[in-house]
A = this chain, B = another copy of it.
Amino acid sequence: MKPTATKKDVQQVIRLIKAAGLRADVSSGRFQTVIGIVGDEKKINFDQIKSLTGVYDVNRIQVPYRLMSRSYISHDIVVKVGDVSIGGNEEPVIIAGPCSIESYEQMFRIAKKVKEAGCHILRGGAYKPRTSVHSFQGLGLDGLKHLHNVGKDLGIPTVSEVRSEFDVEMVAKYCDMLQIGARNMYNQDLIEAAAKQGKPILFKRGFSAQIDEYLSFAERIVANGNKKLVLCERGIMPLGGSFKSQTRFTLDLNAIPVLRKETPFPVIVDPSHGTGRKDLIIPMSRSSIAAGAHGLMIEVHDRPQEALSDANQALAPEDLTKIIMISKLIHQTIAQSEVPFSGDISNGASHDH
């Protein structure tokens, strides 16, 4: 819309979009309002829209993640989880905690340590996605309550994974942020149900998904009116063959600058699942921040030998302190350099409406 467009002008455009059986996504900036079309845009007459009062221009966005593209929203989006800000030029945000919630005591003990280490958001799994029907499946609702109580008692926001459409409401009730795991990246019904809760969403990339495919599914969150979206790289399938891969997954750091260039949403990295190896978490954390990641998600356990899942990739709390320290230093070094993060990503992209 033109900067001079009235509220009535905007309403008229929305009406026309709805009349075609489509939905409208309205972004109101300080100077300008931009309206995105949700659905099959072939159903609408672009010339007719262009002729309406107050319309500045009508553009067809070529990428399949229309509402998430830099062409639609040019400025970096900062997502708030509790009072923590993720994205833009903010310092790296650290999400840490155990793989599985095992009890209030275990959760409190670890949470206290990670908070002292400088961690911003507490993670813990209540509904665990598991390969085998024969192993520990998580504490479910009880786990959520423990996480919620520990978060409240220590004053730290929380995030937990939502696995089933039936759990969406409960996770949204007890947590500050909903995580959708890599295995559910293609689960469009779960994605939409989670988005509708209105809470921030941590949406992990599937381990065999291309960036464009990943963003097409993330688009479902935004198309359901939820822009509190944090993207997360967590490793892609390695090649197999005669030799075994040294890492469980290949953490794909190329994804960081690509995602930052393609969309304005914050991007974090999970080096714990992304490598599956405790001894690689420190170097890959440094590497992630240097690539431009807005934060890290790290599995921490103070008694790994007692952990009910993923023990061999859980870091000790004291190592988390080191990661947080070096992450901040690298972030500052780059931010103060001649080529800060924004310098990488503008190259070749046209970010204006």
Contact = CB atoms under 8 A, between A and B. Distances in A.
Contacts of A289: 290
Given A134-B64, A188-B163, A189-B164, A213 B242 contact: yes
A90 interface: no
Assign chain A's interface to a size class. Answer: 35 or more
Contacts of A242: 131, 213, 248, 276
B280 A254 contact: yes
A274 B284 CA distance: 17
Contacts of A176: none
Interface string A248-268: 111111101110010000000
A182 to B, nearest CB: 9
Contact of A186 (B38, B184, B288): B184
Interface in A225-274: 236-254, 256-258, 261
A325 interface: yes
Nearest to A211: B246
A326 interface: yes
Contacts of A29: none
Contact of A241 (B186, B249, B339, B347): B249
A133 B165 CA distance: 18
Given A131-B216, A186-B184, A322-B339, A344 B282 contact: yes
Nearest to A343: B282
Interface stretch (A8-16, A51-59, A146-154, A327-335): A327-335
B219 A133 contact: yes
A219 B253 contact: no
A33 interface: no
Contacts of A219: 132-134
A183 B129 CA distance: 15
Given A210-B241, A241-B248, A253-B284, 17 more contacts: A132-B219, A133-B216, A164-B165, A165-B189, A208-B237, A210-B245, A211-B246, A212-B246, A213-B242, A236-B250, A239-B239, A240-B241, A258-B280, A278-B348, A279-B348, A287-B287, A326-B337
Closest 4 CB pairs of A and B: A240-B240, A290-B290, A208-B208, A210-B243
29 contacts: A40-B134, A40-B135, A41-B134, A64-B132, A129-B188, A133-B220, A164-B165, A184-B187, A187-B187, A210-B239, A210-B245, A213-B241, A237-B239, A238-B239, A238-B240, A239-B240, A242-B276, A246-B258, A253-B253, A254-B275, A256-B283, A257-B279, A257-B284, A279-B347, A283-B291, A287-B287, A326-B339, A329-B337, A330-B333
